[in-house]
Every structure is written in structure tokens, then in C-alpha cells.
Amino acid sequence: MPKLTRRNLLAAAAGATAGGFLVPSAAAAPAQAATTATVSGPGGRAIDTHAHIYPAGYLDLLEESGVPAASTAIARGIGADSTDADLSARLRWMDRANVETQIIAVTPQSPSGPQSSSSLAAARRINDEYATLVRRHPGRFLAYGALPLPHVEESLAEIPRLFDELGCIGISLTTVLPGGLSPADKRFDPIWEALDERAAIVNVHPTGSGALSPMINSHHLEWVNGAPVEDATAVLHLLKADIPRRYPNLRFHIAHLGGDLPFLVQRIEDNYTDWQAFPASPLGTLRTMWFDAANFHEPSLRLTVETFGADRVLAGSDHPYFQEEKYVRAFDYIRNARLPAEDIRAILSGNADSLYRVPSKEE
């Protein structure tokens, strides 16, 4: 595997706003996991709620459908393909980190090309292949489905398949949609309604577009602080549009501890109480969401726990962008955090067990 550094990933991703991935073909032999885990720190087993697989064939399909190659470049050549070699290495390090299951998502390499028909075809392909991956590695993977947004009718056609046929546990949605559209735009209300009817989990994930800000993108900060800015801004859009209250059955999983939301929450709440900037209490609504811990800074983790509650935080790695020893770190920083043991267990696996209704091998 080529040397993985943030510098070469950022160079590959300059100007990126969208992309895609894939899983093994039926003809491919399944990769084998190691038989024992070698890490068993405080808190025990973990569920990794933030991970990605980017098969080359799917990235090729995205480019054929009109997604720029600059967008898919960040996902290539980083040990995140669906080949036996890449999957075997992934499973080996999952065992090293005592990670029982990864929740995989296509974002930001989403099937969001300019044409509705080719976008739907790409969505169906990746969703079918993710479902195959889940079946071929029972207990090791669960999948968020992908929607061909901003194409509303095609997305509505794919939602029943995701849940009724493929067994997806929810959907993953980008913070910014093609054309700079917000997921909270009123044109997407039919999507929210259809997902609400299924009490769907909605994962919100950044695009690397720097929230379309020249102050971020002109200085190549798309992933340095652009990604968490996108996380927080998209959630604030949802709150402004009252999406969580209008569709109360939805369950939101926000990446990267919600960006700066835990740090700014009093300022945000004051804008509600003093200036009616939101239709409902932002803090109250945020405390109904889940936030993954793909941040790796213990003080930030403890701030999020104190702000939103230990039952609202999920373990996550952002694999493949953090691999090998840094993959293990994603869970050991939680295991070693200055938090009560019961909070550590909840963050590592208990909250995810409840959210995804995953039975533990220990049960």
C-alpha cells in the first residue's frame, strides 16, 4: 500500500466535492479475518460507526457518470478497495483494535452525478455491493445506504429497496449536495418524509468542499477544518429548517463529534432564547442526536460527553484515512479517557448496540 499521508490526500482532493465506492464481486473469494483480537483495553469490544470502502470499479463508474476525477482521487490507492488484500488487512486491524463491526458508508463518494438515470444506476450498484459485503462477512460489517441525491424521484425509488430488500441500517447523506444545495432545502422534504416513515438512521458526513468557502478552500483547508465546519453547518441547517421536529422518527448520526457544535452550543442556544434564531431549542434537539468520536482528542471527547451526554457518543475511526496504529488509537483514546468505566463501555459499543440494535457476541 502506498504511504498514506494527509498531505498527499489533500493534494489529490483539491477541489473535490463528491465521489464513490464498491464491494467484492460474487466471484471473488472472501477475505478472512484474524481469529483473535490482540487489544482488550478498558471497555472491551468496540463498534466502529465511521468507516468507508472505496472499490476502484465504483469510482470508475462515478467518473463515467460525470463525477469529476478530482473528487474520486482522494479515495484511490489508500488500501480501501474491496480486494481480498485490502479487506484482509482491514479485518486484521479491526481485530487488533478489538473492533467487532464496522459501519460502512459511501459518503463522500456519493452517486450524485449530473444525470438522474446514471446516478440511480450507480446508487443501485453500490447498495447491492455493500449488501453483498455485509452478507459475506457476517457480523463484521453493516452498511448505510446511498441515495442518488439531488435527484428526488430516483432517491424515493431507492429508499424501499435499501430497507426492504438490502437490509441497510440507514442512509448516509453529505453535508453539501451538488450545486451547493443544503440537505435542509425544501425540495428534499419528500425524502425526509419517506425516511421518517421508516424511522431511519441518517448519517451526516462532510464532502471536502470546505463548505464552499474561499477562506477555507483557497488555503487548502478542506479537510483540516473544512470538514468539521461542514458537519456543524449542515446540522444547523437542519435545526433552522426544523427537520428533527417535523420528522421526529429520524435518528441522526453526525460525524467528527459534530464539528464545533459542542464548543459553541451555549452561543447557539442564546441565539434561540434571545433572538429566536431557531424554531426550537438547539441544545434540546442536539441531545437527541448521536455524534461519532472520529476526532481522537480526549478533551474534545469529554466536552461532547459533558455537553450532549455519554449516551449520545459513538466510537468511530474514519478508516481508511486513519489506518494501522492510528486505527487502534481511535478506540484506545476512548478506552483510556478520563471518563467513568460505564461511559467508556457505552461509547465503545453500548450506544451503537442500541442505535443499530446489534446483538453482542457476549449476549
Distance CA 169, CA 142 (A): 7
Residue 102 forms beta bridges with which residues? 48, 141
Distance CA 99, CA 335 (A): 12
Q: What is the pLDDT of residues 154-174, one digit of tens each?
A: 999 999 999 999 999 999 999
pLDDT of residue 27: 30
Name the grid cell of 72.
474520486
Handedness of CA 85, 87, 90, 96 (dihedral sign): negative
- Tell me how many helices (H) and strands (E) the chain has: 16, 8
pLDDT of residue 70: 87
295-305 burial, b at 16+ Cβ within 10 Å, e below that, comes to bbeeebbbebb
Name the grid cell of 276.
429566536
pLDDT < 50 stretches in the chain:
1-41, 363
Residues in the chain: 363
Q: Are 348 and 313 in contact (CB under 8 A)?
A: no
Count of alpha carbons within 13 angstroms of residue 196, beta-carbon side = 13
| Residue (of 5, 15, 3, 17) closest to 220 by Cα position | 15
Q: Are 171 and 198 in contact (CB under 8 A)?
A: no
pLDDT of residue 43: 62
Distance CA 232, CA 269 (A): 14
The secondary structure of 166-185 as a DSSP string is S---EEEEESSBGGGB-TTS
Distance CA 133, CA 28 (A): 11
pLDDT of residue 95: 97
pLDDT of residue 360: 54
Q: Are 49 and 314 in contact (CB under 8 A)?
A: yes
Count of alpha carbons within 13 angstroms of residue 197, beta-carbon side = 10
pLDDT of residue 312: 98
